[in-house]
Amino acid sequence: MCRWLCLFRQRSLRVALFSLLVALATIGAAPLTSAQTIIPLPVKQLNAGMHVIRAEVASNYETRARGLMYRKELAPNAGMLFVFMEPSVQCFWMRNTLIPLSIAFMTDDGTITSIADMTPMTENTHCSSVPVRLALEMEQGWFAKRGITAGKKIGGLQ
């Protein structure tokens, strides 16, 4: 009887020690957060005149809500295209967004209705001036450096 009981206790002790070692090894390790689990999105090639844009497409609630949060950088000429189901006044903020961004609000044919510069890590809202279904976020100043203003068109949306 002692033989089985002793083996059981030894096995239980080994499992407990292993669990303790795993717990100790993970102390101080950062927990896996949403910042570390960026899910790749579909990419669409757009253009603003001769300028090519590589835009990740956020077309559902989850991807639009996450946007460019937690990103530390954007590749040159890269951004995010937000696609909504219905035209509406669209508003954006920069909570948990580390990169300064400019946002262009656009009609379905790609005409820019307004552009706003947004400050990282703020909850200031930036809204379209008219109901739109599309918004394009790029590195802050991207539109201005290329002379792209309201009234100009972004191509490749269809």
End-to-end CA distance of the chain: 77
pLDDT digits (tens, 9 = 90+) for 65-104: 999 999 999 999 999 999 999 999 999 999 999 999 999 9
pLDDT digits (tens, 9 = 90+) for 103-112: 999 999 999 9
Residue 116: in which H helix or E strand, if any? strand 112-118
Cα gap 113→40, rounded to integer Å: 28
What residues does 115 pair with on adjacent strands? 104
pLDDT digits (tens, 9 = 90+) for 26-62: 344 334 344 456 679 999 999 999 999 999 999 999 9
pLDDT digits (tens, 9 = 90+) for 94-129: 999 999 999 999 999 999 999 999 999 999 999 999
Is 0.85 surpassed by the pTM of this model? no
What residues does 78 pair with on adjacent strands? 54
Q: What local confidence, expressed as pLDDT, does residue 39 receive? A: 77
Q: What local confidence, expressed as pLDDT, does residue 135 receive? A: 98
Q: What local confidence, expressed as pLDDT, does residue 130 receive? A: 98
- Spatial contact of 154 and 104, defined as CB atoms under 8 Å apart: yes
Tell me the two tokens of residue 114: 């307004």
Q: What local confidence, expressed as pLDDT, does residue 15 receive? A: 43
Domain 35-145, what architecture? Sandwich (2.60)
Tell me the two tokens of residue 30: 């950062």
Cα gap 148→32, rounded to integer Å: 39
Tokens 């001036």 belong to which residue? 129
- Spatial contact of 35 and 139, defined as CB atoms under 8 Å apart: no
Q: For the chain, give every domain's residue range.
A: 1-30, 35-145
Least confident of 2-6, 47-51, 71-75, 137-141: 2-6
Strand order in the sheet with 78-88: 43-48, 51-58, 78-88, 132-139, 101-106, 112-118
